[in-house]
A = this chain, B = another copy of it.
Amino acid sequence: MTHKNQITSKIPVGILGSTGSVGQKFIELLAEHPWFEITALAASERSAGKSYRDAAHWFMSSPIPEKIADLPVSDCTPNLPCRIVFSGLDASVAGKIETEFAKAGYIVVSNSKNHRFDSDVPLLIPEVNPDHLALIRTQQYGKGAIITNPNCATTGLVLALKPLNDLFGLEALNVVTMQAISGAGYPGVASLDIIDNMIPVIRNEEEKVESEPLKILGRLNENHFEPANFKISAACNRIAVTDGHTECVSVKFRKKPSAQEIIGAWDRFSAEPQYLNLPSAPKQPIHYFSEDDAPQPKLHRMLGNGMTVSVGRLRECPILDYKFVVLSHNTIRGAAGGAILNAELLVSKFPGIG
């Protein structure tokens, strides 16, 4: 008997920032979700009062789900007909609004950066640190809570590193990213800046990639939190790819394994979302390609419905120990899909929370 069977009627959920690019992805991914049903859409005051169809400049590649198109959009005040809200709010407003919702008793499942480093807020990847979810018991919000998922460039990277860190211990990590334009939201990157071009910077991104993995791979002892202890160097670039962040990684381990041991660790990796059979959990969290020209964003970003992380080109590194390439879908695994998986874990662990 799966959890799916235990839930007989769907849990109502709301979406904050529902007209933006992350909000649209939430809607697309939740349209046929077996557990959740969108009952509330919120956005800025400019959109409030309109139907979703009129408020959003929809640009997903599937049409607006029929049942969503005519829902009214409200503003982001905490009186939505649901308990769980997904937040795709812009960082400029997310901090305050998410706090208000949590204080009002809502469970806020956020993709925004604002609360990621709050000491009592889990920065969660369900396959990596599901135990961190326990932090919400220590939160200041009464019946409300905030959980967050990491930056889109962090998520795939940390997932690929998780089994290696468990088995061999990370000592140093160098990563150079080639990130998709959808990571910048809409309108985001101007076409004049990226066609026949690349941009060798994504502002504030390297800081995130150099800090978030340490929190996620950290250890929670009672209520004492100990971040992971290894060095990270990141260089972040924007390239002309619509979806899918590719990362060239080199790592040094405390105990250098063989290449076969690394591939074995990836191939065997399975974690709580897989055991719990969560609806958005991919069968295989990490897929290693033995072909020498994989992974590639266009070919492999949709593996596991965009929730599997692809890895390839494992080879020795003359400076650190090994080099490899990681690819993950930035708006699914790295944003809306990751947040939904977080909510699924939450509901599974705290039945009745919705």
Contact = CB atoms under 8 A, between A and B. Distances in A.
A192 interface: yes
Interface stretch (A120-128, A155-163, A291-299, A346-354): A291-299
A6 to B, nearest CB: 29
A1 interface: no
A93 interface: no
Interface in A61-87: 61-63
Nearest to A175: B176
Interface string A217-248: 00000000000000111010101111000101
Nearest to A300: B61
Copy tally for this chain in the complex stands at 4
Interface residue tally on A, bucketed by range: 35 or more
A147 interface: no
Contact of A302 (B62, B235, B313): B62
A178 interface: yes
A200 B313 contact: yes
Interface in A310-332: 312-313, 317-320, 323, 325
A237 B248 contact: yes
A99 interface: no
Interface in A194-235: 194-201, 203, 210, 231-233, 235
Contacts of A21: 192
B181 A178 contact: no
Interface string A168-204: 0000111010100110001111111111111111010
A299 to B, nearest CB: 6
A242 B4 CA distance: 38
A194 B195 contact: yes
18 contacts: A59-B193, A174-B174, A174-B319, A176-B248, A181-B192, A187-B192, A188-B192, A191-B194, A195-B195, A196-B240, A198-B241, A198-B296, A210-B318, A232-B318, A239-B239, A240-B240, A240-B241, A242-B298
Interface of A: 21, 59-63, 172-174, 176, 178, 181-182, 186-201, 203, 210, 231-233, 235, 237, 239-242, 246, 248, 250, 292-300, 302-303, 312-313, 317-320, 323, 325
